[in-house]
Amino acid sequence: MKEEICVFSVICVPFPKRTMTKKIKSAADYVVDLLQRENWQKPDQPYIKPSSLAKGCLLYVAFELLGKPKPPMDSRVGRILSVGTDSHRRLQRALSRACLTQEVYFVVPEYRIHGFVDGILYIPPENAPVPSAAGFWVLEFKTAKMPKEDHVRQAQTYLWGLDKYFDGQIPLNGAIIYYENRDTLDHASYEVPPNPDGIADLMSRVRAMLTTLDAESLPDDHLPEDHWGHRYCPYLEICEPGQRAMEWQAQQPKTLPDEVLANMIAKRIVAKKGAEKMTEKKKRGQRSLMELAEALEWE
């Protein structure tokens, strides 16, 4: 039997009664008791990170839980992540007074999932652009050029995790993902509604994966063959489905994404028009009276 202990009304942790050193009579006693303990926040087994779960590959999550090693991080990737962290901190400072709290921790032991949410934004009714915007929102910052499916899945996992952890005591409207391009500082934001059916399906896959691990096997739950994520997976060297996917992708005809192709066509059109204008200017020399009359639209 477990009960939740709240510290400073923000941090909650599952706390077994049998580990209490003395009888707890009040909420204040809870705080004192927790502060007397060492490593009470450290889980006794590996937990799933929402960012890993958001990839949509339960085999990847299983490798992480098993502690499989990843290749050393490239120094350039490390610098990019550092820039992203700095941007997160800057954006959090800018919105600190608009948030109920920031770096909000949650844990759901039965699914072995825990994480930190960038913030919980509060929009007062008198400041809401529309009535439905008033209230509490999960706030997530991303330093990326465009939205991705895994960002939405991560935000919906946060909504689910906070609702479970705080027992529905924080009525969340949804999530807001704020994107900032690390190169240009262009920005955009999107609302992400809760997706109970989608999360229920994802959590059933998590349960199945944990059951498979308990049986000392690996889950057969991975990305489809044509998914771009295989190329960037740090576990590709030990992942048979990923290796098969890369072999399959190598055999496919090379195609360009629609956005890339559209940009190439647009650049060619602009370049062609510019070349035509330059050629027209070079060809023009002394003009006849007839040509001059046509250019000036004289009749």
Of 187, 222, 257, which residue is a domain's last?
222
Say whether both 19 and 90 belong to one domain. Answer: no
**Position 110 in a domain:** yes
pLDDT at 147: 80
**Position 276 in a domain:** no
Say whether both 174 and 31 belong to one domain. Answer: no
**Position 13 in a domain:** yes
| Residue numbers of the domain that contains 83 | 50-222
pLDDT at 204: 97
Say whether both 109 and 171 belong to one domain. Answer: yes
Say whether both 175 and 113 belong to one domain. Answer: yes
Say whether both 207 and 71 belong to one domain. Answer: yes
**Position 293 in a domain:** no
pLDDT at 293: 62
Say whether both 13 and 93 belong to one domain. Answer: no
**Position 297 in a domain:** no
How many domains would you assign to the chain? 2
Q: Return the amino acid letter for 15.
A: F
- Domain with 110 in it: what CATH number? 3.90.320.10
Residue 221, CB-side half-sphere exposure with 13 Å CA sphere: 26
**Position 211 in a domain:** yes
Of 197, 222, 247, which residue is a domain's last?
222
pLDDT per residue of the chain (299 residues) written in tens, 0 to 9: 444 434 334 444 444 444 545 688 899 998 888 888 877 777 788 999 999 999 999 999 999 999 999 988 778 877 877 877 888 889 999 999 999 999 999 999 999 999 999 999 999 999 999 999 999 999 999 987 778 899 999 999 999 999 999 999 999 999 999 998 877 888 899 999 999 999 999 999 999 999 999 999 999 999 999 999 999 999 999 999 999 999 999 998 877 666 676 777 777 777 776 666 666 555 556 666 666 566 666 65
Scanning the structure block, which residue is given the tokens 């479970």?
Answer: 164
Of 154, 188, 222, which residue is a domain's last?
222
Beta strand 113-123 pairing with 99-108: antiparallel
